[in-house]
Structure 1
Amino acid sequence: MKKFIAGAILVSSSTLAFAGNDLAGCGLGTAVVFPDANEWHEHVLAATTNGTSGNQTFGMTSGTLGCEGANGPLKLAQAFMEDNMDQLALDAAKGQGETLAALAEVIGVDAQDSAAFNRTMQSNFDSMFNADATSATAYEAMTSAMAQDAALQKYLG
């Protein structure tokens, strides 16, 4: 058990050395519990607090807890896509469906723009959900496609 803990600390500290001060992300641990974290172990504790307290989603959507600059809805959309890739691909291919509607809601797409969002997802299906697609590449392709649509550009930032 001691070897496991020592290994976890070593991995965390080496990751922190390369990641800089933003490793812990935003959330309760970063904004309230360890706001002035300078040491690697403080960053690890802040990240652990953020991860275990389940408050990052709230912070991103509300723009609080140090998530003000995190572009909340789009960060949340990226996580949503990661968790729902298969069903999202099916819905995008059809240009409609519950998962596609949920993604639009997460992004904050207004009702009057939902048809444009669905069309954009369907017409860009091949670039988003090709054989080598990951949630990250699908997200990049989606935001790129949205940037090309006048009605959807406003949701990007």
Structure 2
Amino acid sequence: MKKLIAAAALISASSFAMADNGPAGCGLGTAVVFPDANEWHEHVLAATTNGTSGNQTFGMTSGTLGCESANGPLKAAEAFMNDNMDQLAADSARGQGETLDALAQVMGVEAADTAAFRATVQSNFDSMFTTEATAGDAFRSLTEAMSQDKALQKYVG
């Protein structure tokens, strides 16, 4: 029975080992519950916690829980744009709105730079939201426009 439990735990752990944080991946189990895991069984428990608590997706999207990467917020922003393209286009045309503010938050834009972000998006609306633009196209246009603005280039660098 102990061998069966150990085998199931190892299989479970291997299915969740996706990040560069060792065999347990990233998530609540790695970052909070078992941050100093050294033994194989600690890695198994950390990976199981990561997978069963459903927090790896959140960590990867938000760049938290040990899932940080240099471009984490940008990946999350592109995914956000993909999921909210129509409403984001409407808000971008106006230079204000809940979806535009949410995008700024996802990208980590500080409150002091939000006005510049809104203005940049609105002034680049035509290049971001062409009739054939995909979310990826809009995202590339947005990051290009932000890289040209001194206040905003730190968010895309």
Distance in 2 (alpha carbons) for counterparts of 1:28 and 1:110? 33
Partner of 1:76: 76
CA apart distance, 1:61: 2.6
The normalised TM-score by structure 1 is 0.64
Distance in 1 (alpha carbons) for counterparts of 2:99 and 2:82? 12
Partner of 1:133: 133
**Unaligned ranges ≥5, structure 2:** 1-14, 25-49
Distance in 2 (alpha carbons) for counterparts of 1:104 and 1:124? 15
Distance in 2 (alpha carbons) for counterparts of 1:132 and 1:62? 30
CA apart distance, 1:64: 5.0
Structure with more helix by fraction: 1
Distance in 1 (alpha carbons) for counterparts of 2:112 and 2:103? 15
CA contact (8 A) 1:128 1:142 kept: yes
The normalised TM-score by structure 2 is 0.64
Distance in 2 (alpha carbons) for counterparts of 1:145 and 1:58? 27
Tell me the percent identity: 55
Q: Which secondary structure does the structure 1 equivalent of 2:17 belong to?
A: helix
Max Rg structure: 2
CA apart distance, 1:143: 0.1
CA apart distance, 1:151: 0.3
CA apart distance, 1:63: 4.9
Distance in 1 (alpha carbons) for counterparts of 2:16 and 2:115? 37
Amino acid in the other structure paired with 1:29: A
1:31 aligns with 2:19: yes
CA contact (8 A) 2:120 2:145 kept: yes
CA contact (8 A) 2:63 2:72 kept: yes
4+ residue segments displaced more than 2 Å: 59-65, 67-70
CA contact (8 A) 1:92 1:100 kept: yes
Distance in 1 (alpha carbons) for counterparts of 2:102 and 2:55? 20
Amino acid in the other structure paired with 1:132: E
Kindly report the root-mean-square deviation, in angstroms, between the aligned alpha carbons of the 2 structures: 2.7
CA contact (8 A) 2:63 2:73 kept: no
Partner of 1:56: 57
**Within 5 Å, which residues of 2 pair with 1:79-90?**
79-90=79-90
